[in-house]
A and B are shown apart, each in its own frame.
Chain A
Amino acid sequence: GENVEQHPSTLSVQEGDSAVIKCTYSDSASNYFPWYKQELGKRPQLIIDIRSNVGEKKDQRIAVTLNKTAKHFSLHITETQPEDSAVYFCAASWGSGSARQLTFGSGTQLTVLP
């Protein structure tokens, strides 16, 4: 089955700096890579996703890059703000006709210091 590793487990940055979270996956058949943000006591919410036919995707201050050869993908947050503080999860999944079965990374606790 798929295995997803995520680093670092904790990350502290100063407000305004950039934050980068990295994930690797094991199954070369994986073709969908979402990132979820989970604030304390709340549900995980999708913030950005990328599919295997794309190398990079950007949405305002958030970007994700994918390297299929190396089987890793990264989340980049620029100009961080205190409200970016949360746990971020990467995930990988395969399949194109059955229900999505996501394998999640172990999460990164991001703290943005004012």
Chain B
Amino acid sequence: ETGVTQTPRHLVMGMTNKKSLKCEQHLGHNAMYWYKQSAKKPLELMFVYSLEERVENNSVPSRFSPECPNSSHLFLHLHTLQPEDSALYLCASSQDKRGGDTIYFGEGSWLTVV
């Protein structure tokens, strides 16, 4: 299944590094999301883009910076992260339409901050 693909799958970075996570969806959807999944915690919504416009930013620290250049691509730029930011970062997409829709997740990017 290659509907939502994320790269890299694994990333180790130092606290002073700058890196980016990339997500691409091949489903023709118009909404994309970043979620954070930490051990023992619920999935946390970080950012939502609908029609390439950010519609939600759930009080995420500024060291995480999203970018959505078009409806198929979503980036998460990372810099000066903390060890507690180590987690699985999941990208997702959906077709934004009245009445509800299904959110499809990518396989995730495992991030370790050392």
Would you call A44 and B96 a contact (CB within 8 A)? no
Q: In the assembled complex, which residues on chain B have CB atoms less than 8 Å from the CB atom of A101?
A: 45, 48, 56
Q: In the assembled complex, which residues on chain A have CB atoms less than 8 Å from the CB atom of B40?
A: 106
Contact residues of A between 61 and 114, Cβ < 8 Å to B: 89, 91, 93, 96-107
Q: Any chain A CB within 8 A of the CB of B108?
A: yes
A sample of 12 inter-chain contacts (CB < 8 A) reads A4-B42, A42-B107, A51-B99, A89-B42, A98-B50, A99-B96, A100-B31, A100-B100, A102-B45, A103-B45, A104-B42, A104-B44
Would you call A44 and B100 a contact (CB within 8 A)? no
Q: A89-B43, A99-B33 are in contact. Are A44 and B102 (CB under 8 A)?
A: no
Chain A: CB-nearest residue to B102 = A46
Interface string of A9-47 (1 = CB under 8 A from B): 000000000000000000000011010100000111110
Q: Any chain A CB within 8 A of the CB of B11?
A: no
Residues of B within 8 A of A (CB): 31, 33, 40-45, 48-50, 55-56, 90, 94, 96, 98-108
Would you call A43 and B96 a contact (CB within 8 A)? no
Would you call B98 and A97 a contact (CB within 8 A)? yes
Residues of A within 8 A of B (CB): 4, 31-32, 34, 36, 42-46, 49, 51, 89, 91, 93, 96-107
- Assembly CA distance A99 to B68 (angstroms): 14
- Assembly CA distance A105 to B103 (angstroms): 16
Which residue from B41, B50, B105 sits with its C-beta under 8 Å from A44? B105
Considering residues A43, A51, A98, A107, which has the most beta carbons from chain B within 10 angstroms of its beta carbon? A43
Which residue from B41, B98, B100 sits with its C-beta under 8 Å from A106? B41
Q: In the assembled complex, which residues on chain B have CB atoms less than 8 Å from the CB atom of A4?
A: 42
Chain B: CB-nearest residue to A1 = B58
Considering residues A31, A32, A89, A98, which has the most beta carbons from chain B within 10 angstroms of its beta carbon? A98
- Assembly CA distance A76 to B9 (angstroms): 33
